[in-house]
Structure 1
């Protein structure tokens, strides 16, 4: 098994456990606590003081890429500390929750010869006042076609920047972003376990905390209908915020042609996956896209049968998989897709 896939499985197990609430119920098997995982919790918001009553720290225990239990850490004067067994077979992931926002500390593996790991983490206050958000990049990938049904599956990732020093938690519904969907969208959902996604009024409303001083990855999926008789579809990817770059990627063999419109143009092909299971993606891109503007490209000559690519790595009916994503919760969606071979 590759390192990339191992990391993906570990992340999937952890995120699924957190999202489904397993962490609160899990408990670790009693063993000699000869190791230490500790660190200082720092406040990253200017002028704010860490509120100890709003803190919770729990260590998630991973064994063989599955969640084996949890251990609550003590927190004193902003320092968290947990005594745990120093076993090479275990990985400990400290999860800090501050005002409802989760922060993940890098995984710790305790060697009996070096049984202590100290890692600090910075947390931030929250705000409902929208900061000057921008998008570093938007990437839309065609991941499935079913010509029989006249349907396509798209995966979209927006890397959203928050220049402030507070976590933006959105309006009274928690909505922080609204992503316009393509014409003909039948279903829409998201893959971020800590967020919720609602298809409404021609957009996916995203209720996901936007973290400060970094980029937040917002991953959404849409199932889109097209006219089989016409055998082409004009895709418009609209930016809700100013975006440095917008791209559309289509696996080789899915279409006869990509026809960029307006300010969009062809870019160098990209290759995804791990050899020998790689896929070449044809790319159309547009730089400096303003709020409400978008990249427009016409997709022509759809492949006559269902297709599979390294982004999904499945041998079944791909559209059925895409449809299934909208029938389950976001956390299950994320874990399922990553178990099937996501990055």
Structure 2
């Protein structure tokens, strides 16, 4: 009898404690305002979704989510209360406006239970007159004489300077990526976040919308015919392009292949190290829509197993290369024409840590 009474008492104590422990874990709140970035007015009557993920994306796989919805008020406000604040949980707030999805990105409330996640949405247009390339990077990935192939990674950083989201026109396409006419094996690389690409002639077409502001970099890979110690690369600019950088792997002594152009003057930017690999950088810029950039890669090494000097870029470094191109870090290298040879510039540890953090953040956004 005593044991039964003790069990009942223990059960009562546990039952009394449970609501407090649950309440302690469900005191999270995410609120914000949905604003039409085109008109500047709040958006009322829109369905806002908060998605809870038990873990962050891993291996390109998005985990299952638990979703809640709310409707924005007359002044565009929304709120979600009673959210689980357990460690390891992440949230994302999203809303669809005129057929385009907009998201707040990842929100964590484990340490700070109350968070604000404002979202700007935009009216849509098929007009691409406000689209430009803030930077483009042409990276020589590898050469192989035995197969007669030079592998190129082409990194694009788009910018939409308008106040409307660019959507597909009647043909169902949005952005264009021109590649060399003689390119083969053209395809998107990991992290291509611009919908389903298609290739027609020497142009890759994308299908996803381009929201105002700077977009995540997109990268394509392709192969060009290679023979002897040189090959040529020619690209047409589909959009006004502020800056183009050409990266060629260099040896430990800073020596290696050269790049020249008959159509645009190139600035020799010297050497920059990305990871453990030094790259020689050339740049040009201020290209208008329809301009053609023709490049010749000279003094390439023979691609034998004994002296192959160009190595394949690790996939994880592509995001860092894209960030370097987009943020102009490559411009930190020596630009003085008085130097007889470029000096090697290594990214400082503090900057490397920052880039790694940004790469990780970029990777999460691309996977999202």
Query: Do the structures match in fold with TM over 0.5?
Result: yes
Taking the aligned partners of 1:43 and 1:146, their CA distance within structure 2 comes to 52
CA distance in 2, matches of 1:270, 1:218: 22
How far apart, in 1, do the equivalents of 2:235 and 2:166 lie? 24
Show CA shifts across 1:54-104 (max 9, x none): x44232415255435232232232333334211222222223332332323
More strand by share: 1
Matched, 1:57 2:49: yes
Task: Say if 1:131 and 1:163, in contact at 8 Å, map to a contact too.
Answer: no
Q: CA deviation at 1:207?
A: 2.1
Structure 2 counterparts to residues 85-234 of structure 1, below 5 A = 85-111=84-110, 114-190=112-188, 191-212=191-212, 214-228=213-227, 230-234=228-232
Partner of 2:66: 70
Say if 1:37 and 1:185 are closer, same or farther in 2 by CA, change over 3 A. same
Distance 1:299 1:201, change over 3 A: same
Change (3 A) 1:142 1:58: farther
Q: 1:258 is matched with which residue?
A: 259
Q: How many angstroms apart in 2 are the aligned matches of 1:252 and 1:142?
A: 11
Q: Shift in Å at residue 124 of structure 1?
A: 0.6
| Cα deviation code 1:300-328 (max 9, x no counterpart) | 324415743554369xxxxxxxxxxxxxx
> How far apart, CA to CA, are the structure 2 residues paired with 1:64 and 1:242?
37
Query: Given the superposition, is the C-alpha separation of residues 256 and 133 from structure 1 closer, same or farther in structure 2, using an over 3 Å criterion?
Result: closer
SS in 2 for 1:73: strand
Contact 1:41/1:122 (<8 A) preserved: yes
**Cα gap change, 1:60 to 1:252, in 2 (>3 Å):** farther
Structure 2 CA distance, aligned partners of 1:149 and 1:192? 27
CA shift for structure 1 position 37: 1.8
Aligned counterparts of 1:58 and 1:200: Cα–Cα separation in 2: 39
Gap runs ≥5 in structure 1: 1-29, 315-334
C-alpha distance in 1, partners of 2:269/2:96?
42
Residues of 2 paired with 1:170 and 1:91: CA distance?
32
- Residue by residue over 1:249-279, the C-alpha shift from the partner in whole angstroms, topping out at 9 and shown as x without a partner, is 1121495332333323133235354xxx322
d(CA) in 2 for partners of 1:60 and 1:97? 18
**Aligned equivalents of 2:263, 2:104: Cα separation in 1:** 44
The range that moved more, 285-294 or 94-103, is 94-103
Moved over 4 A (4+): none
Aligned residues of 2:43 and 2:72 also touching (Cα < 8 A): no
Q: Closer, same or farther in 2 for the Cα pair 1:88/1:272, shift >3 Å?
A: farther
Distance across 2 between alignment mates of 1:237 and 1:247: 13
Aligned partner (choices 290, 293, 298) of residue 296 of structure 2: 298
In 2, the alpha carbon distance for the partners of 1:62 and 1:261 equals: 55
Structure of larger gyration radius: 2
The structure with the greater share of residues assigned to helix is 2
Report how many aligned residue pairs link the two structures: 283
Change (3 A) 1:92 1:303: farther
Deviation for aligned residue 1:126: 1.1
Aligned to 2:234: 236
CA contact (8 A) 2:236 2:290 kept: yes
Counterpart in 2 of 1:45? 38
SS for the counterpart of 2:101 is: strand
1:328 is aligned to none
Q: Which has the higher contact order (CA 8 A, sep 6+)?
A: 1
* Kept in 2: contact 1:192–1:219 (CA 8 A): yes
**CA separation in 1, counterparts of 2:316 and 2:125?**
39
Asked if 1:271 corresponds to 2:269, the answer is no
Distance in 2 between the 1:144 and 1:103 partners?
38
